[in-house]
Amino acid sequence: MKQLERRAAAYCRRIGRKLPFGGQRKQDYLQILQEDVGRYLSAHPWAKPEELAETFGSPEQIAVAFLSEMDDREIYRRISARKRVVRLVFSGLVLALLLLTAALVYMILRNEQDMDGHFIITQACGWLQGRIGL
């Protein structure tokens, strides 16, 4: 029985990877589908993955069916939300890169100002002493 449940779960995982949106609706859809596949496998324990795809559909076909059941407004809202997240992450990365660049420029300028044109070597430690002639 465990093996049949694992096969049903594996089939539903492949389908879950193809579904474009997440959330409670996707989980409910996959749960119902897994129960249906589990019942089918109980009646047909010899069924192969190809037979499951023939009976229930390929992951791509099921993803299309999932999207066709969704309201157009909900699809648009989820796409817009995904775009906002991508923009937010991209903006955060650009901001972090700018802050890092500004910090490096500040450190370089501050170092040049502190040296005032002089380069001072203090006592070197370990293997470096013999290499620089100290």
Distances (CA, A) of 97 to 65, 90, 103, 109: 42, 11, 10, 18
Give yes or no for a contact between 41 and 10, defined as CB atoms under 8 angstroms apart.
Answer: no
Do 61 and 114 have their domain in common?
no
Please give the model's pTM, rounded to 2 decimal places: 0.55
Count of structural domains within the chain: 2
Do 59 and 80 have their domain in common?
no
Tell me the C-alpha distance between 35 and 9, whole Å. Answer: 9
Do 14 and 76 have their domain in common?
no
Do 37 and 102 have their domain in common?
no
Instruction: Flag whether pLDDT at 74 surpasses 80.
Output: yes
Do 66 and 8 have their domain in common?
yes
CB atoms within 10 A of CB 24: 7
pLDDT, tens digit (0-9, with 9 covering 90-100), for 18-60: 888 777 888 888 888 888 888 888 888 888 878 888 888 888 8
Domain extent, residue 18, equals 1-70
pLDDT score of 16: 87
Tell me the C-alpha distance between 81 and 63, whole Å. Answer: 19
Written as six digits, the tokens of 104 are 């490096």
Do 27 and 52 have their domain in common?
yes
Do 92 and 128 have their domain in common?
yes
Do 60 and 98 have their domain in common?
no
pLDDT score of 128: 59
